Amino acid sequence: MIDLHTHSIFSDGELIPAELVRRAVTHGYSAIAITDHVDFTNIEFVLDAMKKTSFLEEEWDISVLRGVEITHVPPGKIAALATKARSLGSEVIVVHGETTVEPVASGTNFAALNSDIDILAHPGLITEDEAELARENGILLEITARAGHNRTNGHVARIACEIGCDLVVNTDAHAPDDLIPDAVAQIVALGSGLSERYVAAATAANPRRLVESVRG
């Protein structure tokens, strides 16, 4: 299992990074990105903390990637914050997409997909034009295991398959029970309506490619 969207106590998660990673190891994870919520007020603090997680890789057989989730940032400021995140050493950049269960500003998906990011999380009722941008810019669209955000998984899967976008299954974990083994990730993908070929790509090949692009 590779999970590229999780949260620790450095935003609104329940676990310190060590416990989050330890629980991921017990679920058979080979890689995890800790992507705490950021805006311009806390990005330095979060990424400075994440730089200190390397000690976990010294003891456990798992890659721990430094990341952020740009969250509820005005669309016109997303590109600048993504650039700042990259300059501060973020290995995975997620943007909190236009989920139908939160008041995300209209235009967030479009702005994110025109920025230097890796994953558009729970993009809600994403349009075909936005999906085209994801495909052109090599940005992964998320199929999520998180309750509420997963209401539009079927729509995201359908649009992505029609346009030819790459997908990734993530947990958006905030609490211990949010972490899942690979078998459950595959169920989430199948439940969104993906074919077995797309399931394999979304749960294994696509996240592995992103990790390898960061870590070699």
Domain boundaries in the chain? 2-215
How much is the mean pLDDT over the chain?
Answer: 98
pLDDT at 196: 94
Average pLDDT over residues 104-114: 98
Whether the full predicted model's pTM is greater than 0.85, yes or no, is: yes
Interval 33-77: pLDDT, tens: 999 999 999 999 999 999 999 999 999 999 999 999 999 999 999
Euclidean distance between the first and the last CA atom of the chain, given in angstroms as a whole number:
18
pLDDT at 216: 78
pLDDT at 164 over 90: yes
Angle between helices 43-50 and 75-87 in degrees, nearest 10: 30
b/e per residue 17-36 (b: at least 16 CB within 10 A): beebbebbbebebbbbbbbb
CA–CA separation, 26 vs 18, rounded Å? Answer: 12
CATH topology for 2-215 is TIM Barrel (3.20.20)
Interval 72-95: pLDDT, tens: 999 999 999 999 999 999 999 999
CA–CA separation, 132 vs 55, rounded Å? Answer: 39
Is the CB of residue 142 less than 8 Å from the CB of residue 123?
yes
